[in-house]
Structure 1
Amino acid sequence: MITESPLDPATAHYRKVVPAGEYWIHVVRKGETLRILDLEGNQAADTLFYNADDPAERYSACDTIREQGNIYLSTGTVLRSDLCRPMLTITADTVGRHDTIGGACSAESNTVRYALDKKSMHACRDSFLLAVVENGHFGLGKRDIAHNINFFMNVPVTPDGGLQFADGLSAPGKYVEMVAEMNIIALISNCPQLNNPCNAYNPTPIEVLLWGAGS
């Protein structure tokens, strides 16, 4: 559901532009609002969430989909952990659909889906792995790279149950915004994918913004 936010970017206490192909990892405190902004349109932001107080608890696509009865995310969606506890609630969304089943691109999937010579291309799984290696203080490792959300990505389910990577529904300035229901480690790979329409074949920057509790 399309819902505008009342929050003014000028009042955000944190702002960071994340170039295409790079990662962002940060703690979002309970009650804070996180906005992911698609600066130029048709970008995909692959995202993982963990309980900052116990990183073994993490975002679960299965629990989120089951509890809301919908494979797509938008305003009102409660993102749930693998203990079925609320992690974040989407409070504003100017895109209207975000994917939670398409997964993250990797060297292996690039090879299988596209061609052998695509294996060396940078992928979101590479960014996730680099993030956990370079930020060991979060207590995350390779085994913690689980199923992710693809914000701004459009992955329709075909009549025969397959997945289709379709043109994105986002545009410059579109965003998704959510309030943390617990202390969260947020890890975003700003997708570098060049081989399907999720980034309009032209990966571009995103911006992340944070507002304090009660903003």
Structure 2
Amino acid sequence: MLHVYPIGVGLERKSDTKIFLSELPYESYESFEPLTSVEVPEDITVVDPVAIDVGEYTGKTFYFVALRKYLFSDDYYSVTSTASGPLSDHNATIQQADSTYKISMVLSEPSGTDYWDTSKLTLKVEREGAVVPDMEVYWFGESSLWSQEHKENIETRYMVDGSVAYPSMTQTNANGFLVINIPLNEAGIVQQGDSIRNYNEHVFFCY
């Protein structure tokens, strides 16, 4: 039996994570051929192991890695920390089927370039129930960065001199629609202290 103790360090999203076993080190999900996998409970603590039955692999060396599912895809990507060494360092040779092997591994958020994606967003602008064509739309990024006071200040500034110091996403079409590409953060919706942060909720300003 293999007992893996996953330790989250800076890990923001704990859902949809599994420990995978394979005969070769993980490189990419497209070429990955795992032997088995076990889900990591969201409420797991540092003293709780993820138990994996490895009795049938006696005499073999295998590699293990923690992968997390994309928010909007069935594919997975690695959340196994490589700060102290490459993924290939996470391996074990099963010598006795009835022995228990205890292994720790650190889970952390990968770099943004490894798991940020682009999402296509369709906006529809209406005023009093009617679509608004040729409306300039400005993107302000993640909503948690903006308080209601900040949003009102932007509107006030625009009313005073017509300026908006943020990028325009161009104008709505004749039907009031605008299709834009925005970054998708795989951390998703996370608990931060007493509050919840949605990394993929964005603020737009149109006038």
Q: TM-score, normalised by structure 2?
A: 0.23
More helix as a share of residues: 1
Q: TM-score, normalised by structure 1?
A: 0.23
Indicate the structure (1 or 2) with the bigger Cα radius of gyration. 2
Q: Which has the higher contact order (CA 8 A, sep 6+)?
A: 1
